[in-house]
Amino acid sequence: MSSMGADMQVQIAFAAPTRIWRQTLEVAAGTTVGQALAQSGFAQAFPEFTDQPLALGVYGERCDAGRVLQPGERVELYRPLVFDPLESRRRRAGHRRGKRPATR
């Protein structure tokens, strides 16, 4: 990062299993998602997630670590799913069908 770039604020957000973790950072213009993540302290706060690459995004749109950030953007880290959402939906639908009274 160059000290010639104007400073800007960005946020880093992560939905941990037990809490929401957010950091607001002051970074230089031209900072990438990966650089902001490295500055955020995420690796120290969540060492259990550093051995596997997490998916990254900015405001819900997936991106890679090389994406250059704009002022005010929020970087999001996405944990892997622990269940298949489609299978979960099927189970809920089946459960609801089983509770309905018989129609005449």
* CATH for 65: 3.10.20.30
CA 102 to chain centre: 44
In a domain, 2, yes or no: no
Share of the chain above pLDDT 70, in %: 88
In a domain, 1, yes or no: no
Burial of 51 (0-12, 13-18, 19+ CB in 10 A): exposed
User: Considering only CA atoms, which of 24, 35, 25 is closest in space to residue 2?
Assistant: 35
Rounded distance between C-alpha atoms, residue 71 and residue 12, angstroms: 13
Selected residue with higher pLDDT from 85 and 31: 31
In a domain, 69, yes or no: yes
DSSP 83: S
98: pLDDT confidence band, cut at 50, 70 and 90? confident
pTM of the complete model: 0.70
Overall number of domains in the chain: 1
Average pLDDT over residues 2-20: 82
Q: Find the domain containing 33 and state its range.
A: 7-99
In a domain, 53, yes or no: yes
In a domain, 49, yes or no: yes
The mean of the pLDDT values for the chain is: 86
- Is the pLDDT confidence value at 4 over 90? no
Q: What is the pLDDT of residues 50-79, one digit of tens each?
A: 777 789 999 999 999 999 999 999 999 998
